[in-house]
Structure 1
Amino acid sequence: MHTKLLIALVLAATSGAALAALPPPTPAQVEQQKAKKAIADAQAEKDKLALLAKMDQLTANWRGRAGAKGWTVNPPTPLPAPVQAITAPALQSAPSGQPSGQLTVTGAQAPITSEKAGTAAPSADTKTAPSPPASTVKTK
Structure 2
Amino acid sequence: MTMLKTTIALLLLAIPVLAVAELPPPTPAQAQLAAEKKAKAQAAAEKDKQALLASMDALTARWRGRAATEGWELNPPVAVAAPLPALAQPNTQTSAAGQPGGVMGPAAKDAPLTSEKSGTAAPSEDVKTRPTLTYPQKK
- For normalisation by structure 1, the TM-score amounts to 0.49
